[in-house]
A and B are shown apart, each in its own frame.
Chain A
Amino acid sequence: MKKLLIVEDEVSARKAMTEKFTRDGFEVETAANGEEGLTQATKFQPDLILLDIIMPRMDGLTMLQKLRAENEWGKNVPVIILTNMTLDDKEKMKLVGSLGHEEYLIKADWKLADVAIKIKQTLKME
């Protein structure tokens, strides 16, 4: 069973994703901010991380930077950024460009079913 880590501060968004992807046959762990996300990632070593950007305590991009800098596993784990963030798009695009592995999806443009397909493609499950 593939393992997903969902890093999302909004409770109901987290709930929607957790339930959907569990039903789709993933093992799901969650974290409510970037700080928790880093801890969980190290502990749980997921196959893929779904990451929101605007979060309290530590935002998604900071977490991503730290994750990529931390160790070999962290450098390579696939990350899908799933967000509605629209502030500082330029800054964000730069980061995403430089980091390399990430998909960048706008929540409202994506049905959960399509996100699931994206995850499966990334993990080469289909």
Chain B
Amino acid sequence: MEPNLLVMKGTNLGEFEELILLIVGVLYPDAYGLSIRQEIIAQTGRKAAIGAVHSGLNRLEKKGYLLSKLADGTHERGGRRKRLFHITAAGKRALEKNHELRNSLWNQIPDLAWKNLLYGDSFE
């Protein structure tokens, strides 16, 4: 299904968005705001506010890369329901595109470039 053009914010996938999208896939089928945040911290070590994760999820859903539904509430949540996220076909394609682009660029780097690697010294 094509993402709804009216709610699309533009199909560019930001770096943090890509991370969230990948984590949603990793956590399938139990990806929701807090678990995604914990996974980000666990996997990358970078701090992210819950609000930042929610904001990213919100954008991804608007772009059509994610779908969500409300699941049942639990005791720790004071009986409140959580919103579970799934990757859409468009989301998968966006990830693939990024992946392919990266691979393609990676493969184009000549082997020679990896010889005589510089370690932050000057070019000379």
Q: Do A and B bind each other?
A: no
Chain B contact residues, CB within 8 Å of chain A? none
